[in-house]
């Protein structure tokens, strides 16, 4: 891609994937699991934008930066490593990347744990976003929905203007969104000039801007000081900037996209790539042991060495309740 601006791919790797426990653990979050043809989601994210961006930044945390480093070394990729000493949510994470950039640099910000397919459509969307970003807009990618999904937030739009951002809906509301036809899934991917993002952050959330700047200015080789980081309010970029700025544009996109945030989406992805299910739609993940399901339909059996999970595919969103319960009990099964 030819572009007169320097383009940086910023990869956010902070999530723990609570809805994918017990596969996803604090020591090995879902973006580093080699579940996908021997590659991890993180590795696929790096490769996807390699020919689009001039440079890569990885914003990770103290617990997972060694996992990112391993992947980057394996593929011999140079990058700027930004290491958070404590998670402060996405507004601060993106601010660090913007502070580490030149004002006119275009940043393409993506999570590290998404599946994306149909790369021609993806590159069309990226080109359109970069073009809008060079004109001073903050661009979000909205995915044309294929079903009334309740696991995603939505963007209500008119053309490329955003009318509103909506939280994850219930089933009735999701169906209503799809019927209306002008709602897109909120992909959590963004594109903007570093300076434009920082101006908007400073204008709407000056506390995050100031405290992030102080923390960034004291970084040592990209690693942020714990005490200074704890002063930064923990707030998502959606609340801090996206829902308040007047400079937002959306690029409606038709590439295949999933955040693989739940076992239902993992199930759908694995079925599409040839993972076996029995005649009643039951699936085993994590073991080759012979496993029989009797009287069950659409059930997923997840095996790990220290914990197993058995769930109905439709109850995938509830796995986080188990995670939260184990967290309250301070269980080492989360590590």
Are residue 57 and residue 152 in the same domain, yes or no? yes
3-state SS track over the chain: CCCCCCEEEEEECCCCCHHHCCCCECCECHHHCCCECCECHHHHHHHHCCCCCCEEEEEEECCCHHHHHHHHHHCCCCCEEEEECCCCHHHHHHHHHHHCCCCCCEEEEEECCCEEECHHHHHHHHHHHHHHHHCCCEEEEEECCCCCCCCCCEEEEECCEEEEEECCCCHHHHHHHHHHCCEEEEEEEEEEEHHHHHHHHHHHCHHHHHHHHHHHHCCECCECCHHHHHCCCCCCHHHHHHCCCCCEEEEEECCEEECCCCHHHHHHHHHHCCCCECCCCCEEECCCCCCCCCCCCCEEEEECCCCEEEEEHHHHHHHHHHHHHHHHCCCHHHC
Boundary residue ending a domain (228, 258, 288): 258
Do residues 103 and 167 both lie within one domain? yes
pLDDT of 4: 57
| Whether residues 181 and 56 fall in one domain | yes
- Other Cβ atoms less than 10 A from the Cβ of 192: the count is 31
- On whether the pTM is more than 0.75, the answer is yes
The CATH number assigned to the domain holding 151 equals 3.90.550.10
Question: Is 177 within a domain?
Answer: yes
At residue 14, the pLDDT reads 79
Q: Are residues 310 and 171 in the same domain?
A: no
Contact 58, 110 (CB under 8 A): no
Do 40 and 114 belong to one domain? yes
Residues 233 and 280 in one domain: no
Range of the domain at 116: 7-258
Total structural domains within the chain: 2
Q: Are residues 143 and 250 in the same domain?
A: yes
From 258, 291, 315, give the residue that closes a domain: 258
Taking the chain (335 residues) in runs of 10, the rounded mean pLDDT of each run is: 74 85 88 82 91 92 91 88 93 97 96 90 95 97 92 94 94 95 95 98 98 97 96 95 96 90 89 91 94 97 95 93 94 92
User: Are 48 and 114 in the same domain?
Assistant: yes
Residue 2 lies in a domain: no
The domain boundary residue, chosen from 227, 258, 289: 258
The reported pLDDT for the residue numbered 226 is 96
């Amino acid at each position: 891609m030819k572009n007169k601006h320097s383009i940086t791919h910023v990869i956010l790797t902070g999530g723990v994937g609570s809805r994918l426990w017990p596969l996803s653990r604090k020591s090995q979050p879902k973006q580093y699991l080699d579940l996908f043809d021997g590659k991890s989601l993180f590795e696929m994210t790096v490769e996807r934008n390699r020919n689009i961006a001039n440079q890569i930044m990885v914003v990770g945390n103290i617990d997972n930066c060694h996992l990112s480093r391993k992947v980057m070394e394996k593929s011999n990729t140079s990058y700027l490593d930004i290491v958070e000493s404590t998670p402060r949510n996405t507004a601060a994470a993106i601010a660090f990347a913007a502070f580490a950039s030149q004002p006119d640099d275009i940043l393409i910000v993506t999570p590290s744990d998404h599946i994306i397919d149909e790369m021609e459509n993806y590159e069309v969307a990226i080109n359109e976003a970069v073009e809008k970003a060079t004109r001073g807009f903050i661009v979000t990618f909205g995915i044309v929905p294929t079903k009334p999904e309740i696991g995603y937030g939505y963007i209500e739009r008119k053309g490329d203007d955003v009318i509103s951002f909506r939280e994850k809906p219930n089933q009735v509301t999701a169906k209503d969104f799809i019927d209306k036809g002008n709602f897109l899934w909120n992909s959590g991917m963004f594109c903007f000039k570093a300076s434009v993002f920082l101006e908007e952050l400073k204008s709407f959330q000056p506390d995050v801007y100031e405290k992030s700047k102080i923390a960034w200015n004291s970084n040592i080789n990209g690693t942020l000081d714990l005490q200074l980081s704890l002063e930064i309010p923990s707030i998502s970029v959606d609340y801090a900037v996206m829902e308040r700025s007047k400079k937002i544009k959306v690029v409606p996109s038709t590439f295949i996209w999933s955040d693989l945030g739940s076992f239902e989406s993992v199930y759908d992805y694995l079925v599409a790539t040839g993972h076996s299910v029995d005649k009643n739609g039951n699936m085993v993940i994590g073991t080759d042991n012979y496993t029989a399901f009797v009287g069950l339909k659409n059930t997923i059996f997840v095996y790990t060495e220290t914990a197993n999970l058995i769930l109905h595919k439709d109850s995938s969103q509830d796995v986080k309740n188990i995670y939260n319960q184990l967290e309250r009990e301070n269980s080492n099964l989360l590590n």
